[in-house]
Structure 1
Amino acid sequence: MNDFPQPHDSSYRFLLSSKKLFVELLRSFVKKEWVLHVEEAQVEEINHSFVLADFRRKEADLVYKVRLNGRDLIFYVLLELQSKVDYEMPYRLLLYQTEIWRFVLRNREVADTTAPYSLPAIVPIVLYNGSRPWSAKRRFRELLANEESFGPELLDFEYVLLDVERYAEEELLDLSNTIGSVFLLDQTADRELLLTRLRKLMETIRGMPEDMKEHFIHWLANMIALQLPPDSKEVERLIEEMKEKGVTVMGLGKNLEAIKLKGIEEGMEEGMERGIEQGTMLGKESVAINLIGMGLSDSAIALATGFSEQKIEQLRNQIH
């Protein structure tokens, strides 16, 4: 039995919990010479949750320890999977780094605190998939007032930013690997563009090692299922179907169409239920607004609700 997470869990966290995919992420997007020396066999996940009292929400993150040149190197990966840019990011990352060093010092084998000791280097990485360009400061010292008046005496570090939306389609296609395929498909929620990009990726998908393909299929099914209600069992069906039949553009197209129709049906049911409580007109308006959000034409919405196209145009103007 697979120990895959449920659909509501972080799909990116699931993907990058694969050491192979984590190394692939580094080699694909972190353009530093030392990345070439990171080997999967030397990667170890630190299974510890670093929770800060200063932040109420639970972070989605990963911490990896890598043996590099005989020394430990730690990667802290913060998954910033939201639409808003966090302008306190350098400060948050500073707190996480100090918590990691505190954890390392508590668990080190050398008990003598007077003996020479080097803390492991930490490389902070932020993976962001919001639609707005990332505009927060990348360097810590740039958060400090009057920092330009000082030299190296100020605390400073710069985090690695992986902004999914900013990578060009050609660059991601050229990678011909799992993480590039994930980034490319994550850039769009449009059904037709998704299918177009999937066609371009078919050769890459067919060439993926089986373990990577399994991770990719699970991620893809979860992404599609985000359009369904949280308690839907559709994601399990999608995963099993893609495992059995493989990923095909035609098959995915049918699944997307079925999900779209399911959403229309559930939207109408939800709207009508509200209409019983709040009045028939309000229920029909709720249905119409749901259908507008799904991208249906005015004529199709008119047929489903009985409204005139003029009324639908008024509703469309209200929500835009």
Structure 2
Amino acid sequence: MKYNRSNKEKFTLENKNRKINNADDKIYRKMFDVKFEAVQFINEKLNLKLNEEELEKYNRSFVTQELSNRTADIIYKIKGRNVFFLLEHQTKKDATMPWRLVEYKVELLQGAIDIKKKGKKNFKIPLVIPIVLYTGREVWNIADEIERIQEKLEGYEEPFGKYTLIDINQDSDEKLLYEKTYLSKISLLEKYKRNGNLAEWIKKIIIEINEHENEYKGEGKEVLYLMISKVLKSYVGKEKTENLLTSFEKEGDDMLQILETIEEEKKMFIDKGRKEGVKKEKNNIIKEMLKKNMAIDLIAEVTHSSKNNILKIAKS
């Protein structure tokens, strides 16, 4: 091939601020800049059947200057799809290569993800496929997976990118109730904070903690206070909540009595509503419950009225 000055422009680096010190890196980068060569390389190494028209060079303006200065990579993208090929050339061994590639991938993902589609049901994270071309003399004995250079915890394994999901809805109520942690009790309250059985579960929790007080360690009790305060304020109102928290410091009998009173009042209004049923009488029940400073959420649950309707009655 005869060298022509006009070819010089084709091999100009896109980012003039790059600091690629190794001459070989520049050569390989120039070669990967030629789409035909890149496609052939990708197809051969990954056993794919892509053609030139399917790929496009990716706009790398999202890459930070710090990261840009540390990599001599070329990125291609399949047109119309969020599938990327990251081509990296190495002349020397680099023990941090798995981590470096994770950094590059995350940086690329941040720039490639469509913010407007995040959270939608069909949203998918882009796929980034890194390929490292090594041309050094030493034997490449560097790990090709980040797990191999991570710290290990005996008896536990987790693929990189995977997370452990703890779904309280999958735990039985009994498991959460009898597990000797305050965290499990908070989770149980979370399950039932919008349920008519909330007071019943608080009673069970108090009984469990009082009966096995020595088995509950740490300062989690204070956090449980906060959780009870949070859920009960919307359920029984501020005044009764303060009484509950005060009695929580005692043996639990006072608290249980208050909870039983709440349940009895709730049942009374439910029975009254069933008997009277008429809209006018329902409004009277709402007014009566408001006079007792009962929480809006509880009134809505008992009377099957909207919160807006209850607030209108409260203002009338």
User: Shorter-chain TM-score: which interval?
Assistant: 0.3 to 0.5
TM-score of the aligned structures, taking structure 2 as reference length:
0.41
**Higher relative contact order structure (alpha carbons within 8 Å, sequence separation ≥ 6):** 1
Which of structures 1 and 2 has the bigger CA Rg? 2
TM-score of the aligned structures, taking structure 1 as reference length:
0.40
